[in-house]
Amino acid sequence: MASRPAARSAVPEVLAPGLRVIFCGINPGRISAAAGAHFANPRNDFWRLLHVAGFTPRLLAPSEQRELKRYGCGLTNAASRTTRGSGELRRADFAGAAERLAALAAERRPAVIAFVGKEAYRGAFGERPSLGLQKRRLGDTRLFVLPSTSPANAAVPWAERRRWFRKLRALTSAARS
């Protein structure tokens, strides 16, 4: 049975061949959908964490998301439906996500797909992950789970989030050297 194509997202993917890492969020929030940009909520720490971990030489604004390709990074989401919060997502919103990500890994061949939050990984694969490198792979592509950068994830302190982003940076630097 062929998987159905992913629904069109209000936030376009940022992809190119030869990326070191593709960051996979859970789904577009309303602020991101309105901006047409990933992680556009000004209280979301994603862009700041990318910069302090060394993925980008300067702090990028969400509107500059296409610049990420210059630094070997891409963006996608596990689910395409825009919601006020991820708690509104249903299992059906993730239908075909694992297959879509496997196809993306086979076509784009990134060293790592990094899930921004445990729920993005869980939605795609139906498994509860721990943070960090996962046993599951998609072909040669490693899977890594980061803490969520959402303002709703205030339970994980900034220093802890930064530590995980830096671990991913070290892994992706080693993967391409």
Structural domain contains residue 7: no
Q: Which residue from 121, 11, 138 is spatially nearest to 76, judged by alpha carbons?
A: 11
pTM score over 0.95: no
Structural domain contains residue 85: yes
Structural domain contains residue 109: yes
Q: Measure the CA–CA gap between 20 and 70, rounded to whole angstroms.
A: 11
CATH code: domain of residue 171: 3.40.470.10
Structural domain contains residue 90: yes
Structural domain contains residue 6: no
CB distance 148 to 58 below 8 Å:
no
Structural domain contains residue 3: no
How many domains does the chain divide into? 1
- Please write the tens of the pLDDT for every residue from 36-77: 899 999 999 999 999 999 999 999 999 999 999 999 999 999
Measured in residues, the chain has a length of: 177
Q: What are phi and psi of 159, to 5 degrees?
A: -60, -35
What separation, in Å, do the N-terminal and C-terminal C-alpha atoms of the chain show?
Answer: 39
Enclosing domain of residue 47: 21-176
Note the pLDDT of residue 3.
37
Structural domain contains residue 26: yes
- Please write the tens of the pLDDT for every residue from 112-129: 999 999 999 999 999 999
Structural domain contains residue 87: yes
